[in-house]
Amino acid sequence: MTSIRDIERELSSLRTEPGAETPYQRTSVMTHTAWVPPEWVEAAEDVLSLLAERHPSRTVVLFPQPDEEEGIEGDVEVDVYPVGEGRAICTETIRVRLKGKRASAPASVVQSLLLPDLPAFLRWRGLPPFGAPEFEGLIDVVDRLVVDSTEWPDLPESYRGLTEIFDRVAVSDIAWARTSRWRPMLASLWPNIAGVQRIRVQGTAAQAHLLAGWLRSRLKHAVELEHDPSDRLVGVEIDGEPAPFPPGDPPSGADVLSEELDTFGRDRIYEDAVRAALP
Amino acid sequence: MRFARSSAPRPAKTRASVATTQENPLLEGLQIRRTPDPCILVIFGASGDLTKRKIFPALYSLAYRHLLPERFAVVGIARTEETDDDFRERMKEAVQQFGRDEFRDDVWDGLADGIRYLAADFSDAKGLDHLVDVVNELDDERETGGNRVYYLAIPPSAFETVVDSMGKRRKSEGWRRLIVEKPFGHDLESARHLNGVIEKYFDEHEVFRIDHYLGKETVQNMLALRFANGIFEPIWNRQFVDHVQITVAESMGIEGRAAYYEQAGAIRDIFQNHLLQLLAITAMEPPIDFTADSVRNEKVKVLRAMHTPGPKSVVRGQYGLGYVEGEEVLGYREEEGVDPQSMTETYVAAKLYVDNWRWADTPFYVRMGKRLPRRETTIAIEFKRAPHPPFEELAAEGLRPNVLLVNVQPDEGVSLAIGAKVPGQGMTIRTVHMDFLYGGAFRTGLPEAYERLILDAMLGDATLFTRIDEVLEQWSLVDAIVAAWVRDRPGFPNYPAGTWGPPSADELLKRDGRSWRRH
C-alpha cells in the first residue's frame, strides 16, 4: 500500500544523486497521464520511454486493476539526462496501480500529482468508457485528452461518445494525426476534388472514416466511403482515381504523440470530421 | 478526371500558421509548413570554410526535414579547379563531419542531384557569363522559374565585383535575393559605398545581411522572454534595472585569420555586429508585430539613441602569452601573420548609454575578446537592490542583487538569481539560482543559425537580417570610437591569454561602484 506522500518523498530522494549536495534539476513542461489497461502495457511503455526525453514531464502511468484487492501501489523512477557540460536534468515517471474500487476514482490520485500551472495531458489507451466514473473524472482534471481511435472497435459508431465530450476537453486523435500528410495533398487537388462523390481509403478504419468525415464536413456534401483495410494509410482514391502519394516519410508513433503534446487548443476541424464520420 | 497537384497549398499567414481561404475549404485548419518557391542557390566562394562548415550542413539539415523546395539546385563557384563530382564528394564529407543530423544517403542523393560546380574568377567576365549559362540551363532542367539566391561567402573586397557582375546580368524573370556575410564594409564610408553598389541592382527587400547571432534560437528567445511574459516588461527599465552586462567571450585565438583580424580587430569583428545586435534586442521597445520592418524599426531606434562613449568609457586590450584550458598559448603578436608591433585590439570593453525614456542613465557594460578563459555569450540584467530588507545586516551579507541571466551560448537558457533563506534556525539569506535550461525543456536539437537564416532568405523573410540603416548606425558608433583611439597607444599586450581582459576593464566598472559578473 502506497500513499501519495510516499510517492512525493521517494521522488524527492531520487532527485538527489547519492553523495551529491545539489539535486538534479527537474524539468517539466507538462504532466502527462496515461491510462493503461493490462492489454496495452507493453505498447504504452515503448512509446513512453521514447517520449520522456523529448518532452521532459512528470508522467503518471495509471494501471487499473479493478479485480484486485482494494488499494494503491506505486513506484517511481527518475531519469537523468545530461544537458551541457557537467549538468543534468531529470524527469519523473510515477507508476500507480489502482486496485479494486480505487480503479474507478483515478482523478483523485492524479489531481494530487499534477504539476501546478503546467498543462495536463491524458493519454487513454483503447476505447474510453464514455460515461464511466473513472473516465469522466479524469477528463475533468486534464486539459487535453489524447486517444488513438485506430485502437477502437465498432467504428464509426464508437465516435458517438467522443462527440459528447468535445465541449469539456480538447481532444487529440493519433489516427487523425496520421492523416496529416495526406490532407494537404488532398487539399492540393482543389478544385478537381470539390465534387468528389466517393473515396476509397486503404488504411485503418479510423483513418478511412476520419478522411471521409473531413471531406464531408469541409465540402458540405455527402461522400461515400469504401474502406480497404490496411494497418497504415497507404492509398486514397478519389472517384476511382488514385491520389498522388504525399512526400516525406510517415512519422513514428512517438513522433506523432510528441506533436500532439505540443498542441493545446481545440481542433474544430477534427471535431467536425468526427461528427461527419458518424452514420 | 486527373488528380495531379494543381499547386502547393499556401498558408495564409506565417510558417505553421492556420491557413484559411474562401476558395478551398479543405485548407481550413491545415498546418502547412511554408516551403520556399523553387529556386537556385548560387554560392560565391564555394571552396571556402563557410560553405563547408555551415552552408552545406545547413542545406542538408533543411533537406532532411523536407524544408527545401522540391525543385531546387545549388551552384558553387570559386577559383579552385574542381569537377562537379569532386565538389559533391567534398561537400558530402563536410556534411558528414559538420552536420547535426544522421547522414542518410537518400537525403544526400536528393540534394546532390542538383549540385553543380564552376571554377571561375569572380572578376572574369567570361567566367561569370559561363555561370549565367550554367544557371540558366539548370533553371530549365529543374524548372526553378528564374528564382535565384546569391550567397556571397567571399571576402568583402570581392563583393563589389560580384554584385556588379550579377546585377548587370540580371533578368526580369523570377525573383532575386542576395545574402551578404558580415562584415558589411570596414567603416561607415565603405559600408555606404558597398550599399551604393548593391542598391544599383537590388532593392533593400532583396538584400539579406547576415549576422548569424540573430539566427540563434537563444537570441530569438530573448524576444520571447521579453514580449511573451508579462512579468518582465514592467520592470525592464531604468526604474528597476541597475545596469546591463553583455559578454561575448571566446577562448580561441585568431585561428589563422591574421590577414582579416589585423584589419578588423575586436571592434569590427564582434562589437560592430553581434554585440550591438544583442544590445539592441535587449533594449528595444516592443514591436507592434513580428514582421521584419517592425522589429528592425525598433532596433534601429536603440542604435540611434546610443551616444558615443568618451575615451574613458572604452577599454581596449590585446592578449599576450598565457594559458587557456591548461594549454600554453601564444600572444597575439606572436601569432602567424601578425605584425610583431601590432596595435590591433583583441579585447574591447565599454560603458554605453541608450538615451531614451526607458534607459536614461542606465549603463550597458559590454565586453568582448579573444583568448578569454572560456567561450561564453551572456546578457545579464542586474536589478536594483530591495529598498529596505528588514533583516539584520549580517543575515543578508551574502545576498547579491537579482540578476536575470540570458545564456546565449553555451548552456543556452535563462537563470534568475534570487535571495532565499538558508534552512535552519535564525534568518540567513543566500543567493540561489533558478535555472531554465533551453535544452532541458525542449529536447529537440536546436537548429543551427544558418539553417534558419538560409531558409528565411529563400522565403523572403528579412526579420532576422540587418537592414542597411542598422548597419550604418553601427558603423557610425564604431567610427567614433576608433577615431578616439588614434590619439593614444596603450601598452599592448595588456592581458595574458586565459584571463578576463586588462585591469582597466575592471576599473571601468569599479569607478561606478560595480564589478563584472563573477564567473
pLDDT digits (tens, 9 = 90+) for B259-298: 889 989 999 999 999 999 999 999 999 999 888 889 999 9
The secondary structure of chain A in percent helix, strand, coil, rounded to multiples of 5, reads 35, 25, 40
Residue A155: inside a domain, yes or no? no
Helix (H, G, I), strand (E, B) or coil at B37: coil
* Cα dist from B43 to B47, B154, B162, B165, whole Å: 9, 9, 11, 14
CA end-to-end span of chain B, whole Å?
70
Residue A247: inside a domain, yes or no? yes
Q: Please write the tens of the pLDDT for every residue from B285-335.
A: 999 988 888 999 999 999 999 989 998 999 999 999 998 877 889 999 999
Please check whether residues A113 and A195 belong to one and the same domain.
no
Closest CA relative to residue B448, chosen from B100, B41, B211: B100
Q: How far is A230 from chain B (nearest CA, A)?
A: 23
Please check whether residues A273 and A225 belong to one and the same domain.
yes
Render each residue's pLDDT in chain B as its tens digit; 519 residues.
444 444 444 433 333 333 334 578 888 877 666 778 999 999 998 988 899 999 999 999 999 988 898 899 999 999 889 999 999 999 999 999 999 888 999 999 999 999 999 998 877 777 788 888 888 889 989 899 999 999 998 877 788 888 888 888 777 788 999 999 888 889 999 999 999 989 999 999 999 998 888 888 778 888 889 999 999 999 999 999 999 999 999 999 998 889 889 989 999 999 999 999 999 999 999 999 888 889 999 999 999 999 899 989 999 999 999 988 778 899 999 999 999 999 999 999 999 999 999 999 999 999 999 999 888 899 999 999 887 777 766 666 667 889 999 988 777 788 888 888 777 767 777 777 777 777 666 656 677 889 989 999 999 998 889 999 999 999 999 999 999 888 888 899 999 999 999 999 999 999 999 999 866
Residue A90: inside a domain, yes or no? yes
Please check whether residues A15 and A136 belong to one and the same domain.
yes
Residue A147: inside a domain, yes or no? no
Q: Could you give the residue ranges of the DSSP H alpha helices within chain A?
A: 4-14, 41-54, 106-113, 133-139, 159-163, 174-177, 182-187, 205-219, 253-260, 268-277
How many domains, chain A? 2
Burial class (CB in 10 A: 0-12, 13-18, 19+), B363: buried
- CB contact under 8 Å between A190 and B26, yes or no, is yes
Q: Which of A142, A169, A200 is the last residue of a domain?
A: A142
CA A249 to centroid of chain Cα atoms:
21
Residue A27: inside a domain, yes or no? yes
Q: Please write the tens of the pLDDT for every residue from B161-211.
A: 888 888 887 777 889 999 998 888 899 999 999 999 899 999 999 999 988
Nearest C-alpha in A relative to B2: A241
- CB contact under 8 Å between A247 and B441, yes or no, is no
Q: Examine the pLDDT at A131 and tell me if it is beyond 60.
A: yes
Nearest C-alpha in A relative to B8: A188
Residue ranges of chain A whose CB lies within 8 Å of a chain B CB: 25, 27, 29, 53-56, 81, 83-85, 87, 89, 180, 183-193, 214-215, 218-220, 238-239, 241-244, 247-248, 267-269
CA dihedral B304, B306, B308, B313 (to 10 degrees): -160
Q: Which of chain A's residues have a Cβ under 8 Å away from the Cβ of B6?
A: 188-192
Q: Which of A98, A119, A142 is the last residue of a domain?
A: A142
Please check whether residues A122 and A236 belong to one and the same domain.
no
Please check whether residues A184 and A232 belong to one and the same domain.
yes
Mean pLDDT over each residue of chain B, to the nearest integer: 87
Burial B467-506 (b: 16+ CB within 10 A, else e): bbebbbbbbbbbbebbeebeeeeeebbbbbbbbbbbebbe
Q: Which of chain B's residues have a Cβ under 8 Å away from the Cβ of A185?
A: 5
Q: In chain A, what is the greatest distance between 2 CA atoms, to the nearest angstrom?
A: 70
User: Does B110 contact chain A (CB < 8 Å)?
Assistant: no
Q: Which of A125, A142, A159 is the last residue of a domain?
A: A142
Q: What is the pLDDT of residue A7?
A: 79
- CB contact under 8 Å between B3 and A81, yes or no, is no
Please check whether residues A114 and A199 belong to one and the same domain.
no
Phi and psi angles of residue B364, each rounded to the nearest 5 degrees, phi first: -110, 105
Residue A149: inside a domain, yes or no? no
Please check whether residues A131 and A8 belong to one and the same domain.
yes
Burial B239-258 (b: 16+ CB within 10 A, else e): eebbbbbbbbbbbebbeeeb
Give me the active site residues of B, please: 274
Helix (H, G, I), strand (E, B) or coil at B144: coil
Please check whether residues A218 and A93 belong to one and the same domain.
no
**B383 neighbors B404 (Cβ within 8 angstroms):** yes
Please check whether residues A43 and A138 belong to one and the same domain.
yes
Which domain, by its residues, includes A93?
4-142
Compute the count of residue pairs across chains A and B with CB atoms less than 8 Å apart: 91
- CB contact under 8 Å between B28 and A218, yes or no, is yes
Q: Could you give the residue ranges of the DSSP H alpha helices within B102-254?
A: 105-112, 125-142, 156-168, 188-201, 217-227
Please check whether residues A185 and A137 belong to one and the same domain.
no
Residue A164: inside a domain, yes or no? no
Please check whether residues A122 and A250 belong to one and the same domain.
no
Residue A167: inside a domain, yes or no? no
Please check whether residues A132 and A225 belong to one and the same domain.
no
**Measured distance CA(B177)–CA(A38) in Å, rounded:** 58
For CA atoms A162, A163, A167, A173, give the dihedral sign: positive
ipTM metric: 0.78
For an interface test with B, which of A24, A83, A221 has the most B Cβ atoms less than 10 Å from its Cβ? A83
Q: Which of chain A's residues have a Cβ under 8 Å away from the Cβ of B2?
A: 192, 241
Q: Is the bond into B490 cis (omega within 30 degrees of 0)?
A: no
Which 25-44 residues of chain B touch chain A by CB within 8 A? 25-32
A85 half-sphere exposure, CB direction, 13 A CA radius: 6
Q: How far is A150 from chain B (nearest CA, A)?
A: 21
Q: What is the pLDDT of residue B19?
A: 37
